[in-house]
Structure 1
Amino acid sequence: MTTVVVSSKGQIVLPAALRRRLGLGAGTKLDLSEEPDGLRLRITRAVPESAVTDLAGLVKAPARGKPRRLDDFDPASLLARERDPES
């Protein structure tokens, strides 16, 4: 267990080895919660926002079988095909 001291400004300093091990840099946000036996610090790791278009081409699946068309996913087209399987 590591002991830290609260400064006159209410600040604490985390030991450098701990900061390195946890990947904490300047500007890292920590959540502080009061618990029955003391305080708890949790690292807040924000997930960076991405546009859907940035993800295009991220996963490539091998082509198998017949290419699909938009009609293949249209419920009305699927019902029509069930009634007339030769279309």
Structure 2
Amino acid sequence: MPTATMTSKGQITVPQSVRAALGLHAGTKVDFVQVADGYKVVALQAGTTSLKGRFAGRASKPVSIEQMDEAIAAETAARHGRVKRKS
């Protein structure tokens, strides 16, 4: 199993076999997705098809459009110091 050692600055060199398996190259961005027993490293690719499954397991149940709108409004109000008034 490939291993890597972290430097004092928090950097690691990803072993060549792992880079090849994940399709990583200079400039590739990666995401660290928390899973039950640790983290999964996911290479980020351009395009929407690369997002499939990226957020799997992060939400316990589906969220409605109305709930999304409410959350966006609440966060916007919080960032701008405004209080949301109910109609």
What is the TM-score when the length of structure 1 is the normalising length? 0.45
TM-score, length basis structure 2: 0.45
Larger Rg: 1
Whose relative contact order is higher, 1 or 2, with alpha carbons under 8 Å and at least 6 apart?
Answer: 2
